[in-house]
């Protein structure tokens, strides 16, 4: 059951007022929640308060890489409370996927779709991804300003997700439009009209997925939908779970990877010496992916709930307490990475970033994101070696997701 729009707006207003008040009292997590353009200074302020501290907003907060890594791998923490109830309210009718589940339900659902998201599968599609990138760039005049997100990044990811589902061409535009609109849930909404637009997109996305399910019932193929329907026939999942998993993959597959690509290109253009390194050695594209995931990750926050009392770095976390990992802060922990605020493709050593999480909730789409972003960077530096920013960027206004709405560039 989702919360009515009017009630949500009232709750958002109360929460926003409270967060603002706590930010005025100097709470770094509250400042971060106000959707600032640069979240990293507040991550540093949080780090100054110790490995973990209790925010005035409520949850425990950490920007410590080692501590965060331990929490994400600790089975004493989950994404729900120990009794299975949600830690956060449900905002849309699509907001109840296995991403919000703990074992055994999480394990059961994830196992069914994991084979479609392995590195081997996407390595086999490298030529297809490269051709898509070239085709999209062929369609624009790169000597004139164009929007990198609208003309290259989003269409690329929409196509790749449609490939996974084998979405028919006659509903492709409708599928893409609904995925884009539904992805705005991370930014909240300011009016009942915006909420209604969001829910209309969710409903139409569910309808498209329902039509796709009916088609695959009659004409199964080698795709995620057909695999889930096999499990449905065998009694392993319900039809609501099938639609829920497909909805999650539709939105997450297009959103997070798009932000990874946009953030990576922006970092390169803001650091011309690193763009020159990539031009001289396109093999560094894999390092661009790694360094972007660390330096400016699309996922800024990861939340967990303690299922039992836990002692962490001298702090007593009680059962039911929420812990928020500041991913962007942990990825810039000076104890883990020398000179962490520098974007450096020659960086050696250091642990893997926490952007894709770790443990049982490690991001299902990590291989897709890495492969698509790496190829996108390679093609860009080859096709448009004089690429530069052609105007101000417009960022997503969300505290948990860091990405770009608009990114004007030209050759």
**pLDDT reading at 7 higher than 70:** no
Distance CA 3, CA 16 (A): 17
Provide mean pLDDT across the span 7-31. 82
Q: Are 153 and 408 in contact (CB under 8 A)?
A: no
Distance CA 272, CA 253 (A): 29
Tokens of 242: 């099938």
What is the per-residue pLDDT across 72-119, written as a single tens digit (0 to 9) for each?
Answer: 999 999 887 766 566 554 444 454 455 666 677 777 777 777 776 777
Q: How confident is the model at residue 9 (pLDDT cuts 50, 70, 90)?
A: low
pTM: 0.89
- What sign does the CA torsion over 137, 143, 144, 147 have? positive
**pLDDT reading at 159 higher than 90:** yes
**pLDDT reading at 218 higher than 50:** yes
What is the per-residue pLDDT across 326-356, written as a single tens digit (0 to 9) for each?
Answer: 999 999 999 999 999 999 999 988 899 999 9
What mean pLDDT value characterizes the chain?
87
What is the per-residue pLDDT across 393-409, written as a single tens digit (0 to 9) for each?
Answer: 999 877 888 999 999 99
- pLDDT attached to residue 181: 81
What is the per-residue pLDDT across 350-387, written as a single tens digit (0 to 9) for each?
Answer: 899 999 988 888 887 888 899 999 999 999 999 999 99
Q: Are 378 and 285 in contact (CB under 8 A)?
A: yes
Provide mean pLDDT across the span 171-180. 89
Q: How confident is the model at residue 189 (pLDDT cuts 50, 70, 90)?
A: low
Percent of the chain with pLDDT over 70: 89
Cβ contacts of 191 within 8 Å, gap of 6 or more: 9
Choose among 359, 395, 410, 396: nearest CA to 77: 359
**Cα separations in angstroms, 45 against 48, 323, 355, 356:** 5, 17, 20, 23
Choose among 329, 296, 304: nearest CA to 29: 329
- pLDDT attached to residue 191: 63
- pLDDT attached to residue 123: 78
Q: How many Å is the maximal CA-CA distance in the chain?
A: 60
Q: How confident is the model at residue 255 (pLDDT cuts 50, 70, 90)?
A: confident
Residue 80: strand pairing partners: 86
Q: How confident is the model at residue 187 (pLDDT cuts 50, 70, 90)?
A: low
Peptide bond into 104 cis (omega under 30): yes
CATH (residue range 5-85+99-410): 1.10.630.10
């Amino acid at each position: 059951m989702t919360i009515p729009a009017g009630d949500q707006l009232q709750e958002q207003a109360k929460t926003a007022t409270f967060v603002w008040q706590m930010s005025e009292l100097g709470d770094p997590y509250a400042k971060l929640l106000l959707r600032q353009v640069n979240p990293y200074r507040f991550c540093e302020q949080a780090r100054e308060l110790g490995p973990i501290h209790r925010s005035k907003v409520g949850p425990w907060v950490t920007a410590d890489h080692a501590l965060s890594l331990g929490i994400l791998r600790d089975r004493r923490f989950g994404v729900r409370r120990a009794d299975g109830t949600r830690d956060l309210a449900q905002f849309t009718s699509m907001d109840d996927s296995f991403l919000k589940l703990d074992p055994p339900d999480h394990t059961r659902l994830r196992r069914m779709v994991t084979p479609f998201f392995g590195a081997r599968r996407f390595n086999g599609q490298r030529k297809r991804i490269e051709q898509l990138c070239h085709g999209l760039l062929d369609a624009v005049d790169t000597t004139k300003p164009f929007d990198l997100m609208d003309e290259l990044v989003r269409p690329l990811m929409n196509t790749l997700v449609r490939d996974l589902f084998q979405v028919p061409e006659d509903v492709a535009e409708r599928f893409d439009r609904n995925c884009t609109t539904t992805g705005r849930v991370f930014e909240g909404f300011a009016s009942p009209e915006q909420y209604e637009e969001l829910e209309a997109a969710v409903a139409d996305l569910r309808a498209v997925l329902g039509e796709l399910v009916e088609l695959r019932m009659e004409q199964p193929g080698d795709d995620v939908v057909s695999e889930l329907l096999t499990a449905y026939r065998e009694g392993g999942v319900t039809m609501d779970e099938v639609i829920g998993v497909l909805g999650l993959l539709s939105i997450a597959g297009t959103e997070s990877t798009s932000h990874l690509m946009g953030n990576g290109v922006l970092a390169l253009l803001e650091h011309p010496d690193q763009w020159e390194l990539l031009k001289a050695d396109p093999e560094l594209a894999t390092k661009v992916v790694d360094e972007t995931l660390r330096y400016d990750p699309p996922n800024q926050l990861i939340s967990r709930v303690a299922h039992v009392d836990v002692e962490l770095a001298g702090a007593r976390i009680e059962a039911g307490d929420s812990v928020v990992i500041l991913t962007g802060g942990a990825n810039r922990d000076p104890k883990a990475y020398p000179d962490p605020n520098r974007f450096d493709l020659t960086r050696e050593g250091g642990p893997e970033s926490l952007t894709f999480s770790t443990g049982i909730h490690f991001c299902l789409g990590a291989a897709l994101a890495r492969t698509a972003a790496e190829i996108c960077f390679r093609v860009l530096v080859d096709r448009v070696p004089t690429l530069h920013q052609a105007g101000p960027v417009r960022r997503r206004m969300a505290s948990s997701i860091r990405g770009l709405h608009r990114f004007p560039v030209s050759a």
